[in-house]
Structure 1
Amino acid sequence: VTGGTIQGSNTNNSINVLWNAAGTGSVNVTQTSAFGCDSAMSKTVTIMPTPAPVMSGPDSTCSNKIYTYSVPAVIGNSYNWIVTGGSFVGSNTASTVRVQWGSMGVGLISIIQTSAFGCDSTIGKVVTIMPTPAPVITGLDSVCEFKSNFYTVPLISGITYDWVVSGGTVIGSTNTNQIQVLWADAGIGVVSIKETSTFGCDSIINLNVKIMPTPQPVISGPDSVCSNRIYTYNVTTPFGYANIWSVSGGQILGANNLNSVTVKWGGFSPGNVFVTQSSASGCDSTVSYYVEILPTPDPVVSGSSPVCQYKTYEYSVITTPNHTYHWSVNGGVIVSNPDSSVIFVRWTSPGNATVTVNEVSEFGCDSALTTPILVNPTPTPFIVGPDSTCETKVYSYLVTAISGHSYQWTVSNGTIIGSPNGSTVQVKWGTAGIGRLNIRQISGFGCDSNVNIDITIMPMPKPVIAGPLATCETKTYNYSTPMVAGHSYTWFVTGGTIMGPDSNNTVNVKWNVAGGGAINVLETSEFGCGTIASNNITIQPTPVPVIGGPDSICWKNISTYYAGKVNMMKSWNIVGGRIIGPSVLDSVKVTWDSIPVGIVELKLTNAFGCDSTVQKFVNLLRFPQLIISGPSVMCLSHEDYFYTDGYANTVYTWTAPGGVFTNPSTQNITSIRYDMPGKYKIHLDYKAGNGCAGFADKAVQVFGFPKPQINGRVKACAYSDGNLNDENTYSVKKTTADSLVYTWKVSNPASYIQTSNNAINVDWGGPGRYRIAIYQVNPMTGCQDSSEFFVDVDSLPHPKIDPSSMMGCAPLTVTFSESTGNPNYICNWHFDNGNAMNKASVTRTFANIGNNNVKLVVTNEYGCVDSTTMIVPLYARPKASFDILDPDPIYTTDTVHFKNTSTGAVDYFWDLDMGDYSYNTDTMKQYPDPGKYKVWLWAYNASGCADSVSKIVDIRVKPWIYVPNAFTPNGDGLNDVFGVKSKYIESFDLMLYNRWGEIIYKTQDINFEWDATYLSKEVPSGVYVYVIFGRDYYGKSVYLKGDVNVLR
Structure 2
Amino acid sequence: MTRILLVLIGLSWLLLLSHTPVQAQLQTPYILNGAATQRTCNCYVLTEDQGTSSGTVWNKNKISLNDSFDYFFDVNLGCKDENGADGIGFILQTQGTNLGATGQGIGFQNIRPSLGVIIDTWQNSDDGDPYYDHVSIQINGDISHSSTNNLAGPVTALAGSDNIEDCNWHIFHIKWNAVTKQLDVSIDDSLRLRITKDLVTDVFGNDPMVYWGFGAATGGASNKQQFCAALRPELQFDNNQLFCDGSAIVFEDDSKSFGTITRWRWDFGDGTTSAIADPPPHTYAKPGKYQVKMIIEDNSGCVSDTMKQDITIGSYPVPDFSYDSLCTGRPISIRDQTTVAVGTLRQWTWDMGNGVIDHSSSPVIAYDNTGNYTVTLQVMTAEGCGAATTKQVNVYPTPAITATGGSVCIGDAIPFTGTDLTPAIPLAQWYWNFDNGQQQTGQHIDYIYPAGGDYQASVHAMSNKGCFTDTVYIPVTVTDINLYVGRDTLIARGQPLQLNAAANGNNLQYNWTPDIGLSDPYAANPVALLRNDQTYYLAVTSPQGCIALDTINVKVYAGPEFYVPSAFSPNNDGLNDVFRAISPGVPELDFFCVWNRWGQEVFRTQSLSTGWDGSYKGQQMPAGTYVWMIQGTDYTGRMFNRKGTVTIVR
Considering fraction of residues, name the structure with more helix: 2
TM-score with structure 2 length normalisation?
0.41
* Higher strand content, 1 or 2: 1
**TM-score scaled by length of structure 1:** 0.27
| Structure with bigger gyration radius | 1
